[in-house]
Amino acid sequence: MSALEPTKLVRPRASRDWSAADPGTAKSVAAALRRADFGDRLRSLALAAPLLVLLALSFGIPIVLLLSRAVYDPTIADALPQTSQALRGWNGTGLPDDAAFLALAADLRSNQAKGTAYELAKSLNARLPGARSQVLKTVRQLEAADRPPLEVMKAVPFWSAPGTWPVIESGTHSVTSFYLLSALDLRWNADGGIERVPPEQAIFVQVFMRTFFVAAAVTLATLILGFPLAYLIASVPKGLAAILIVAVLLPFWTSILVRTAAWTVLLQKFGLVNDLLLWLGVADDRLDLMYSRIGLIIAMTHIQLPFTLLPIYSVMRTIQPSQMKAAYSLGAKPFTAFRRVYLPQVFPGVMAGCLLTFILCLGYYITPALIGGASDQLISNFIASYVNVELNWEMAAALSFILLVFTLALFGIFARILGLDRLKLV
Amino acid sequence: MLLSPYPTTGERIRIALLWLWCGMVILFLLVPILIPVPLSFNSGAFFIFPLEGISTRWYEVVLGTQRWQAAIGNSLIVAFGTTLIATLLGTLTAIALSDEKFPGRRIVMPLLLSPLIVPVVITAVGSYLFYARVGLASTYAGIILAHTALASPFVVVTVGASLSGFDRNLMRAAAISGARPITSFFRVMLPLILPGVLSGAAFAFVTSFDEVVVVQFLASANQRTMPLEMFIGLREKLSPAITAAATLMMALSIVLLVVANVLARRGKQRPRID
């Protein structure tokens, strides 16, 4: 480009403003420039506005709404107005007074009359396993009305059990930490401290650990497979490199679903992988690879390999081969030269590829759903099943919240140490 | 530069091992995506090699039965709708962002890219929750909106890349010559960044056409797309028709993405007008 490249030229439009101002004073020129500048900013903002508004509506609000469900659950408070009132003065230990029992009885009956008793039973059950049947049973007995309500309530042991009332009391507050704590297998104990839930109720820490384990295993596998190939592609002449890179890009351009479908075909009991294992003599018998952890990791490794490889390759191809030669000529052994000259330079690419693959693995849904067994479902699958099967939005929201925190934290690390520019793959 | 000028035996062995390892990795990369292709032409109903015979019966199932035809139709409606909106709005946003005067670029750019970062199940569940309240669940409009969020980052990035090679002085020249902004956009800027715009459009189309998680939550039985039909099929019963559908989808995405990448490269390398 020629020297004629005045990048900071004032736009011609601004000259109109100058003519209006006194040309003699620098101040008014500066003011006119500022006005023109402000107009430019406003115009570029207006250009971006449609997409920003659309993203806020179609993406931002849905996410915020979902996350708010993790901490805001007014169902119980709405369903039990009198009980909420009666529990105001309760100190939270032991059983509340009879007025609270009567208020609960009245609330249960009014829910029955409104036809919302089942809803209430369900949302209580989400916080207090077993509550559903107890609520419905009590409602039936209250309906029968052959005894005074207080007697009915006291006759059901559930309502006098030590754990029941604290949960009802916490339910009468619409803002709750219950679901977020549950997503980490934690709960409030009677003394106001946080404790682990009993082992038989704990599910989610294990699922998060499993998700991290699968993500780490896949990341490691893609690195072991991908690093040498990236090195080869970066070292061979251009024409050959182009052919090799196509072998990486073809699977990269095929959708995750199609690749998962291909793996369900390959991993069948009489599929190609088992044929190969038998032929090689690795296995004596056909293995059950479908619905297994190892099948899931193999398929995810295949899908993620280009994500790990491409950032490594893009760094490797910038490294001058002469540097390694210089190291050799200075007497370095190949391994020393590799470790002290090559590796430090490709390290950012390795970090970028591995972090990207690890982060993407945390959100996997399709592949575990189709290839994993019941004990290989990752956190996304639990979120989906809380929405589709259990209809427990609050729990789905809390799990989403935790998953999103992990994802964003890792991306924060990524952006901080590597810069967002490394997100571009080729 | 794999071998030094006077390679030792050890070096030769290391390089041979490297080639062997990489050959196996390439087989691992390519064989799985190529396997569905021959299977889709199998005349038998099983996935076992050797094939029983060549036939196009599974393509007749995918292209000829009402269920799959409806799914292909739905996929095309959603993908074209998404491509249109994402390309239009994404291009405008990329132009705005390419101006160094755009306020808050550092905040806006990560926000624009966030649909790619947030795990897709969270996006899908959130959309399902919100769209059901505003009457957009089980509508084409709802699916298109959600897909636009996922696809527009690709348009912003590719158009942004082609704009980084665009000389803004050309717009000033047009303005000095008396062209109104709208005229100079259509007559000067758009022709020059068109490869980038088309490449972004192809990315957006493929993103929407391949997407299955959001569709799974938002679509009713009437809006099942081709990937969703595949997903359901894979869960119920593995039929060779799925390998035919997979082959078709793979062919479409590869062709479109090859085009997108060639265009993107051309958009960036375009010679400047001096």
Mean pLDDT of all residues belonging to chain A: 87
Please indicate, yes or no, if residue B50 is contained in any of the structural domains: no
So what's the pLDDT on residue B108?
A: 87
Q: How confident is the model at residue A22 (pLDDT cuts 50, 70, 90)?
A: low
Residues of A in Cβ contact (< 8 Å) with B95? 44, 47
Per-residue exposure over B205-230, b if at least 16 CB sit within 10 Å of its own CB, e if not: bbbbbbbbbbbbbbbeeebbbbbbbb
- How many Cβ atoms are within 10 Å of B120's Cβ, its own excluded? 20
**Residue spans per domain, chain A:** 12-71, 75-169, 204-423
Indicate if the pLDDT at residue A7 is higher than 60: no
- The radius of gyration of chain B's CA atoms, rounded to the nearest angstrom, is 24
Q: How confident is the model at residue B273 (pLDDT cuts 50, 70, 90)?
A: very low
Minimal Cα–Cα distance from B143 to chain A, Å?
A: 10
Residues of B in Cβ contact (< 8 Å) with A255? 206, 210, 227, 249-250, 253
CA pair distance B58, B42, nearest whole angstrom:
8
Q: How confident is the model at residue A9 (pLDDT cuts 50, 70, 90)?
A: very low
Pinpoint the alpha helices (H) of A188-337. Answer: 204-235, 238-253, 256-266, 272-280, 293-316, 321-329, 334-337
Q: How confident is the model at residue B268 (pLDDT cuts 50, 70, 90)?
A: low
Inter-chain touch A383–B112, beta carbons under 8 Å? no
| CATH number of the domain to which B134 belongs | 1.10.3720.10
Number of domains chain B contains: 1
Please indicate, yes or no, if residue B14 is contained in any of the structural domains: no
Please indicate, yes or no, if residue B10 is contained in any of the structural domains: no
So what's the pLDDT on residue A6?
A: 44
DSSP string, A104-121: HHHHHHHHHHHT-HHHHH
Please indicate, yes or no, if residue B216 is contained in any of the structural domains: yes
- Angle at which helices B105-117 and B66-98 pack, to 10 degrees? 160
So what's the pLDDT on residue A14?
A: 46
Residues of B in Cβ contact (< 8 Å) with A400? 121-122, 125-126
Distances (CA, A) of B12 to A237, B8, B9, B17, B203: 18, 6, 5, 9, 42
Q: Is B127 touching A (CB cutoff 8 A)?
A: yes
CATH, domain A204-423, list 3.40.50.300, 1.20.1050.10, 3.30.1370.100, 1.10.3720.10: 1.10.3720.10
Whether residue A121 contacts residue A131, with contact meaning beta carbons closer than 8 Å, is answered with: yes
Residues of A in Cβ contact (< 8 Å) with B141? none
Whether residue B219 contacts residue B147, with contact meaning beta carbons closer than 8 Å, is answered with: no
Q: Is B15 touching A (CB cutoff 8 A)?
A: no
Q: What is the ipTM of this complex?
A: 0.91
So what's the pLDDT on residue A188?
A: 79
Number of Cα atoms under 13 Å in the Cβ half of residue A68: 10
So what's the pLDDT on residue B5?
A: 67
Q: What angle do CA B227, B229, B234 make, to 5 degrees?
A: 90
Please indicate, yes or no, if residue B22 is contained in any of the structural domains: no
Minimal Cα–Cα distance from B258 to chain A, Å?
A: 9
Whether residue A341 contacts residue A323, with contact meaning beta carbons closer than 8 Å, is answered with: yes
Nearest CA in chain A to B232: A370
So what's the pLDDT on residue A142?
A: 86
* Cis peptide bond upstream of B50, omega within 30: yes
Parent domain of B226:
61-269
